[in-house]
Structure formats: C-alpha cells, structure tokens
C-alpha cells in the first residue's frame, strides 16, 4: 500500500466522532475506531484490522459500517487478505459510487481480474473527480493497464484514461517520466476527437524530441504539424537544445541518479556527441543489481558505439547481459532483444539466432508479447541469412499467425524470408486502422531522418518495401517521410549553455 495510507485512514476515522456505540466482543464501535486510528498513526495495518474485525460483522448498513469498511479496504491487501478486497470494495461502490478512493481500489481490483477497460475507466473517473486519490497508483500499474488496451473499445478506454490523467497533470512518483508519455498519448486521443486546440495547448509538455518527431511523420497529427515544426526547429535543433539543457541540469543536481544519467546520455546522442555519451556512461556496470534506468543507459551507450561504427565494441558491451539474472534485473531482457537484433544487423547471424532463442527461453514470462515477437523476427531473419529457408519459413508461419501482436516484427520477418506479398497483406491491413498504422510509419523513415543512425540491412528492407505501389499509396494516406529540413544535422552540435530571454538557448 502507498505511504499515504495512514493519513487517509486518519481522515476517515475523524468522521466517526460522536458515532453511536455498538457492543461487539466487549468493544464499542467508538473504541474500535480509536484503536484503529492509533494503529493507523503508526502505519500498523495489522492493528487496524485487529481493531475493526470484531465489530464490522455486527455493524448494520449505515455510515458507521461504510467508514469502517473503507478503513478495512485500505489495509486488507497489505496484510495478505487481498481475497477479501473485491467484496468490501463492491459493497462500498454500491453505497458510494463517486468516492475517489473506492473507485481507485475498484481499478486495482479490475486490473487484477484482467478487466483492464473497467480499470482504465475507473482511473479516468478518479483523475477527473478526485485527483488526490491517484496517489494510490504506481506509474508501473498504469503502464501495465495501458499496455493491455491496444485496439477497439479497449483502446478507447485507454484514451479516456490518458486524457483524464493529463488533464489532472498527474506525475507518478515511481516513474515521473510517464507524465510526458501520458501527455503525448492524450494529444493523439484529443486530435482524434477533434479537440485540436486542447491538444495543441498540451504540446509543451512533450519534452522528448523523439516523440515530437514521431508526430511529425504521422498524418493523424497533420493539423498540429505547424505547431510541432515550430517546437522542433530546423534539424530538430530547438527541441533538442531545450531537452539537453534541462537534462544536463538535472544530472548536475542529481549526479548519482540513473534516470538523470539516462536522459543526459540520450541528450548527448541527439546532439550527435557520441564520444561524450561514452565518457558520460563509462561508470555504469552490467550486473544483477542494475536498475531499469541503468539498462537504458547502456542501450544509449550501445547506440553511440554503433553510430561510431565500433561494431566489436557494441558486441562486447552487450555480451555481459547474457549473464544477468533476469529475475533480479528483468529490464535486462530489453537489452537482450536489442543484442540479438544488433548481431543480425551486422551479419553475425549464428550468434543472433542463439541469443534470440536463449532470451525467449530464459526471459519467459518477463517478456511482453511484443518483445517475444521481436525475438521471433530476429530468429527468422537470422535463419534466412544462414540459408536455412525451411526453418525460417516454419518460424515465419508461426509469427504470421500472431501478427496482430507486433505487426512491424511480422512484416520485417516476412521480408527477411522473401515473402513480400504476404508482408504486403499484413501492412495493408494495418494501414487500414489509423491507430495501428502509427506503428508502421517509423519503420519506413530513411536513415538520414534518424538521430544516431547506424548501418541497417533491416531498414533497407523497408525502403525497398515502400517502392511497392500499394504500400506507397497506403503509407502516403497515413503519414509522410520526415521533411529534409528537419533531418538531424550530421556531426556533433554545441552543448546548449543557458536559456536567454525569449527561450533561445546558447
């Protein structure tokens, strides 16, 4: 339970002052509440339940029972009695359908029962009516719920949740960077609803140049393109300078923070200062104790080495991830997906195949379906490069059957297996759904439009794929190639030093 629980319990029990005593196993309701209040002050959920359990069963419907049950609800999970939560929350929800704390617990219960759309709608309600109750949630929980809602009515529930969280300007304490991601999703949802003015007003929350870049190639955001282009500046320089100045300042304030280092390394990448990325990140160790942010620091380091064409050094950087205990550092599985893809990209196909298969086996339930399908893609591309066409085709058939879990991976694998016509069918189906089409637009962008590009045989496959008339027509309906005046300049750019009046950075 969150650290704010005792304060919430204390607020609730204040409402019981003057409650009518009710005898239950020798304790009146007033005495039980006083004991629960004292336990709450000491963050002792066990004491809260010991005080309330004897009296709740004898309480008839009414204000006293509702308040006692709210206190009960806050502590049941913390004491290993989560199985009792649904019944208690349902009772409270019937009596208090607009209570923010009750609805927040309803969202957690719905998510636990795989009712993710219901969970999202409860979170949207809490954000709109009782934003203080959002403290009950961790960002990781919201991210998991959102990840389960990717199409149809589920996607609509996700959009409602993102809009409400953004309007509440919620920043989760465990993953504060999600505030920006939520805002980006809310902008897309608002544009889809025709609320362009509100969407444009939120653009200044999107501080990551890569997210603005993605909007600039997606025709869904065409009405915002002039505003986004102004935020980006020529070659993306305005957005990158602002991002870099802020992230370097944060690293200066928190030099031991993995998340601050992650963002500063990313800023150096965007500035084209690849050697500076290496100098900045040389202290990070790959081991079982590394954080999720530390994993992404190393991924930025790998991108810098790849941009410098130091292929062997990239290989040496990734290799220690094979020895990490993924149960202790689950985010390392993301690095292994990247390692397998890198090996395939640089022609080390046998090792790419081995890493992809080992990761799929070792990571197990730690990987999302999206991640597993990327590993399938690497397996198929590696098998094709090794001349093992029969095995590649069998694996491609399996991936094709699960194409809806990761369409870019399925298309890329079929292209590797020289099954372009089948890849075209999947792509055209994806382009027929505007929400899904966005997943494909980035794949078609040329290397020159990317920050920190490295040689990529897979990107070359997409470039050739775009030459098919039906694919080009579908692509043009949904997006565009990034205009050349926004392509990043090659070579390192100066580090921005300070903001001047009017927002210009020098």
What's the confidence (pLDDT) of residue 76?
A: 86
User: Could you read off the pLDDT of 193-223 as tens digits, one per residue?
Assistant: 999 999 999 999 999 999 999 999 999 999 9
Query: Quick one: pLDDT band at residue 25, thresholds 50, 70, 90?
Result: very low
State which of 50-59, 137-146, 475-484 shows the largest mean pLDDT: 475-484
* Residues paired with residue 218 on neighbouring β-strands, in sequence order: 479
Which position has the token pair 């991830």?
321
User: Could you read off the pLDDT of 211-261 as tens digits, one per residue?
Assistant: 999 999 999 999 999 999 999 999 999 999 999 999 999 999 999 999 999
User: Could you read off the pLDDT of 140-158 as tens digits, one per residue?
Assistant: 999 999 988 987 789 899 9
Mean pLDDT across the stretch 496-506? 58
CATH fit for domain 235-486, picks 1.10.10.10, 2.40.50.140, 1.25.40.10, 1.10.1740.10: 1.25.40.10
What's the confidence (pLDDT) of residue 500?
A: 45
Give dist(CA 271, CA 427) in Å, integer. Answer: 33
Sequence-distant (6+) residues with CB within 8 A of 29 are 16, 19, 20, 21, 22, 55, 59, 64, 68
Both tokens of 413, joined, read: 């694998």
* pLDDT surpassing 90 at residue 65: no
Query: Quick one: pLDDT band at residue 272, thresholds 50, 70, 90?
Result: very high
Give dist(CA 8, CA 6) in Å, integer. Answer: 5
* pLDDT surpassing 50 at residue 1: no
What's the confidence (pLDDT) of residue 11?
A: 30
Give exposure, 355-378, as e/b (b: 16+ Cβ within 10 Å).
bbeebbebbeebbbeebbbbbbbb
What's the confidence (pLDDT) of residue 162?
A: 97
What's the confidence (pLDDT) of residue 499?
A: 55
Report the chain's C-alpha Rg in angstroms.
26
The domain limits of the chain are: 1-95, 98-206, 235-486
What's the confidence (pLDDT) of residue 17?
A: 30
User: Could you read off the pLDDT of 328-371 as tens digits, one per residue?
Assistant: 999 999 999 999 999 999 999 999 999 999 999 998 788 989 99
Nearest to 24 by CA among 67, 66, 59: 59
* pLDDT surpassing 90 at residue 113: yes
User: Could you read off the pLDDT of 405-456 as tens digits, one per residue?
Assistant: 999 999 999 999 999 999 999 999 999 987 789 889 999 999 999 999 988 9
* pLDDT surpassing 90 at residue 67: no
* pLDDT surpassing 60 at residue 293: yes
């Amino acid at each position: 339970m969150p650290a704010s629980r005792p304060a919430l319990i204390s607020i609730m029990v204040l409402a019981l002052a003057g409650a009518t005593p009710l005898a239950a196993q020798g304790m009146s309701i007033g005495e039980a509440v006083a004991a629960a209040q004292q336990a709450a002050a000491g963050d002792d959920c066990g004491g809260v339940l010991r005080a309330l359990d004897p009296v709740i069963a004898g309480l008839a419907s009414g204000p006293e029972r509702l308040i006692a049950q709210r206190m009960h609800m806050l502590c049941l999970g913390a004491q290993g009695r989560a199985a009792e939560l649904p019944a208690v929350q349902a009772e409270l929800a019937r009596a208090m359908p607009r209570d923010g704390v009750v609805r927040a617990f309803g969202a957690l219960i719905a998510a636990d029962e795989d009712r993710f759309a219901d969970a999202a709608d409860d979170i949207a309600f809490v954000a709109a009516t009782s934003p203080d109750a959002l403290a009950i949630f961790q960002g990781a929980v919201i991210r998991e719920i959102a990840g389960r809602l990717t199409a149809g009515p589920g996607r609509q529930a996700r959009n409602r949740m993102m809009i409400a969280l953004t309007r509440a300007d919620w920043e989760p304490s465990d993953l504060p960077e999600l505030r920006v991601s939520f805002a980006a999703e809310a902008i897309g949802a608002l544009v889809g609803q025709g609320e362009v003015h509100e969407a444009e007003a939120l653009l200044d929350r999107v501080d990551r140049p890569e997210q603005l870049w993605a909007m600039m190639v997606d025709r869904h955001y065409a009405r915002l393109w002039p505003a986004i282009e102004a935020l980006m500046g020529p070659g993306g320089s305005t957005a990158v300078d602002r991002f870099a100045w802020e992230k370097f300042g944060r690293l200066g304030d928190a030099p031991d923070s993995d998340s601050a280092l992650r963002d500063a390394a990313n800023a150096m990448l965007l500035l084209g200062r690849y050697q500076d990325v290496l100098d900045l990140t040389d202290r990070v160790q790959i081991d079982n104790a590394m954080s999720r942010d530390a994993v992404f620091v190393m991924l930025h380091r790998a991108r810098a080495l790849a941009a410098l064409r130091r292929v062997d050094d990239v290989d040496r950087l990734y290799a220690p991830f094979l020895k990490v205990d993924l149960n202790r550092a689950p985010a390392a599985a993301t690095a292994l997906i990247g390692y397998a893809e890198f090996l395939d990209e640089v022609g080390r196909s046998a090792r790419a195949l081995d890493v992809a298969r080992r990761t799929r086996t070792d990571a197990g339930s730690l990987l999302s379906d999206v991640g597993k399908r990327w590993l399938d893609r690497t397996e198929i591309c590696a098998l094709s490069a090794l001349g093992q066409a029969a095995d590649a085709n069998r694996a491609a058939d399996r991936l094709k059957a699960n194409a809806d879990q990761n369409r870019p991976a399925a298309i890329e694998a079929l292209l590797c297996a020289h099954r372009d016509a089948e890849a075209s069918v999947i792509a055209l189906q994806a382009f027929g759904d505007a929400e899904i089409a966005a997943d494909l637009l980035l794949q078609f962008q040329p290397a020159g439009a990317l920050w920190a590009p490295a040689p990529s045989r897979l990107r070359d496959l997409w470039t050739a794929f775009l030459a098919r008339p039906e694919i080009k027509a579908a692509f043009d309906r949904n997006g565009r190639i990034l205009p050349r005046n926004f392509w990043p300049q090659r070579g390192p750019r100066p580090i921005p030093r300070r903001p001047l009046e009017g927002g210009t950075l020098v």
